[in-house]
Structure 1
Amino acid sequence: MYSTDMNNTIYLTEQDYKRLVDLIQIQRQSNGVPANIGKLGEELKRAVRVPSEEIPANVVTMNSRVLLQDLQGGRELEMTLVYPKDADINSRKISVFAPVGTAIIGCKEGDVVEWPVPSGTIKYKVVKVTFQPEATGDYTL
């Protein structure tokens, strides 16, 4: 798992959960299961599912914009968590299949996440969810 604290509860909307399970199934049928997809599957298994209308506004859902802080260097990074087809590194739209995407899905403000990189491990704090579709009443994004 990518989260630093296995006891951290993560939350997913029922719609995000269903869409992500479907995406994982498609990946399994076409490519087998790359490690990052397996990690996302593990995260989904431990998630608490809630209706879109009830998800707290401080939780990272799909298509949320999130401000992260690097706990080693203090640098801040803002990114949008998207489905793989919408990923665009130049626009800071990061796929949920990327390690950082898998690490932050379902986390809330204040949570600390980590994920492996070639040079070791990166730790980030979820500082703020600056945009969440459900908080604006958009339950279909």
Structure 2
Amino acid sequence: MMERALYLTDYDYERLELLLDNMNRVPQNRREDLSQLEDDLATCHIVAPDEMPPNIVTLHSTVRYLDLDSNKVRVVTLVFPSNADLSTGRISIAVPLGAAILGHSEGDLVTWKTFDGAKTIRIEEVLYQPEATGDYYL
């Protein structure tokens, strides 16, 4: 997986820490993608919302990506588990794809482990990022 400097707003950092603490209380929630997210939080750069670079995938960002295996373009919005709805393209930060794209930017190749090996996508465009439009507390 490509190394990256993960940028989070202080608001999102606090909410992700709380989410991970709550999920870790249930043993069956322990997964590698959540462990990676925990590691990312331990080394992330915490910034004020107005300092977030506009091409970074943050919580509530809408992203267009290319699935390099199927050559299909998809659009997803990264949300908390309680707001996830695959039928509308809202993916949870607690699923492998969601955890993997957080902090990446346009043009990045993102790879994560699957049961069958690995999956790779390329982030084509951040269509909406709340911090870029002044929506700091979604």
Structure 1 partner of 2:117? 120
Structure 1 partner of 2:67? 70
Map 1:52-131; keep pairs closer than 5 Å. 52-131=49-128
Q: Summarize deviations over 1:8-27 as a string: whole Å, max 9, x none.
A: 22211111111000111111
Structure 2 partner of 1:12? 8
Moved over 6 A (4+): none
Q: Between 115-124 and 62-71, report the one with greater CA deviation.
A: 115-124
Structure 2 partner of 1:28? 24
Q: Which ranges in structure 1 are unaligned for 5 or more consecutive residues? A: none
Say whether the 8 Å CA contact 2:2–2:111 is kept in structure 1. Answer: no
Q: TM-score, normalised by structure 1?
A: 0.90
Counterparts of 1:134 and 1:116 in 2: how far apart (Å)?
29
Q: Percent identity?
A: 36
Say whether the 8 Å CA contact 1:47–1:106 is kept in structure 2. Answer: no
- For the aligned residue pairs, the C-alpha RMSD in angstroms reads 1.3
**Partner amino acid, structure 2, of 1:59:** I
Give the length in aligned residue pairs: 136
Q: Which ranges in structure 2 are unaligned for 5 or more consecutive residues? A: none
Counterparts of 2:86 and 2:131 in 1: how far apart (Å)?
24
Q: TM-score, normalised by structure 2?
A: 0.92
